[in-house]
Amino acid sequence: MKAILTLNGGSATLKVALFEAAAPHRRLGDGMIERFGVGPRLRLRAPGLADRAQDWAKGEGPTDAQAAFHALWPALKARHSELEIVSVGHRIVHGGADHAGPCLIDEAVLTGLKRLSPLAPLHQPANLAVLEAAQQDLPKAGHVACFDTAFHQGRAFETEAFALPRHFYEEGVRRYGFHGLSYASVLERLRHERPDLAMGKIVIAHLGSGCSLCALDQGRSVATTMGFSALDGIPMGTRPGAIDPGVLLYLMTDRGMDAKAIEDLLYRRSGLLGLSGLSADVRDLEASDQPQAKQALDYFCSRVAVGIAAMAGELGGLDGVIFTAGIGENSSHIRHDISQRLAWLGAGSRLALCVIPTDEEGQIAVQTAEVCGL
């Protein structure tokens, strides 16, 4: 059987899945490695086969997305040796202003994507490292880039621009938005399950290791919290979300921090990890009895609720909030806390609240099949 392989690398997770090429909605099997470098966990699943699990101790196992690929893909391939991989779909976080949809990857495309790495240093290099490893392992397959930024193309100027001199916008300094594959996946399922809501004014809350909100009106992205980079908006596992730029100037001029130190601070040592001093993982914080764990979770829920209210302002109203991704799908405590903070908007009565699992891999498979004409 001919199959599509999808590779979805996040900031702390690599997900791999197989889909039937002739029916790209049909998932044949999948696997995941999460928590790079802090006790990685491997999981494999396939219909008719026993699940496989493997845990590594802290400091052992894969420490980045490429190492995770080398551990995960051979294990999945061994379970599905009868499949012929004809296409590989890659989640690419940043497509810049030039990519409004998926495309085949050639040298010119790859070179352009590498130039965008400074705009997403936690994700883009990892995405491309996995891509190049997959190209070596599967040289005969067609490789397709599926972009997180493409979903947000076409928004109004006032939602894309910063209040900087105009030439910066023309040069590409603008709010791109991210998590587009997740939003597209959730929207597709919502159209089947709640078509009335899908065409209304809604906010999708993608809450995982990375977090963002997207305001949609009649199925189109109107505004989103992530902007020029994947740092802006609501707080995340290790990223702070929105921050007064004066803080960064202070860290440079008064604390002597250079660009590399600030990059490390913003991408790897802030967010829930920085606030709690304990962990970037909501599961760890919910299980902790330390007061700083509760403070970090309270801060997170407060900022998400404020962000949803701001998205409602962008929409001029709100019909529903959809929670998705690791935290949004699995933490009832977080959902309840955020909903309580939105009671003044009608959450729990007039305002619809839903949980819809994201399926970024399924969205990648569909886009890959379309590009490759499968």
Q: Which of 4-13, 57-66, 136-145, 148-157 shows the lowest mean pLDDT across its residues?
A: 57-66
The phi, psi pair for 49, rounded to 5°, reads -120, 150
Same domain, 125 and 201: no
Same domain, 217 and 337: yes
Burial label, 217 (beta-carbon count in 10 A; 0-12, 13-18, 19+): middle
Q: What is the pLDDT of residues 323-362, one digit of tens each?
A: 999 999 999 999 999 999 999 988 767 899 999 999 999 9
Q: What is the pLDDT of residues 225-243, one digit of tens each?
A: 999 999 999 999 999 999 9
Phi-psi region of 37 (alpha: psi -120 to 50; beta: other; left: phi over 0): left
Q: How confident is the model at residue 119 (pLDDT cuts 50, 70, 90)?
A: confident
**Does some domain include residue 168?**
no
Q: Distances in Å between the alpha carbon of 178 and those of 124, 146, 202, 227, 250?
A: 12, 12, 17, 8, 28
Residue that terminates a domain, selected from 147, 177, 209: 147
Same domain, 202 and 350: yes
Same domain, 132 and 270: no
Q: Distances in Å between the alpha carbon of 369 and those of 25, 102, 106, 127?
A: 10, 10, 17, 20
Range of the domain at 324: 196-355
Q: What is the mean pLDDT of the chain?
A: 93
The rounded distance, in Å, linking the Cα atoms of 64 and 66 is 6
**Does some domain include residue 186?**
no
Same domain, 15 and 126: yes
Among 148, 232, 281, 319, the one annotated catalytic: 148
Q: What is the pLDDT of residues 126-137, one digit of tens each?
A: 899 999 999 999
**Does some domain include residue 178?**
no
**Does some domain include residue 299?**
yes
pTM: 0.91
Tell me what pLDDT residue 11 has: 65
CATH of the domain at 98: 3.30.420.40
Active site residue 359: no
Instruction: Specify the higher pLDDT residue, 163 or 45.
Output: 163
Contact 150, 99 (CB under 8 A): yes
Contact 322, 354 (CB under 8 A): yes
The rounded distance, in Å, linking the Cα atoms of 355 and 207 is 11
Same domain, 16 and 104: yes
Q: What is the pLDDT of residues 182-195, one digit of tens each?
A: 999 999 999 999 99
Q: How many domains does the chain have?
A: 2
Same domain, 244 and 329: yes
**Does some domain include residue 265?**
yes
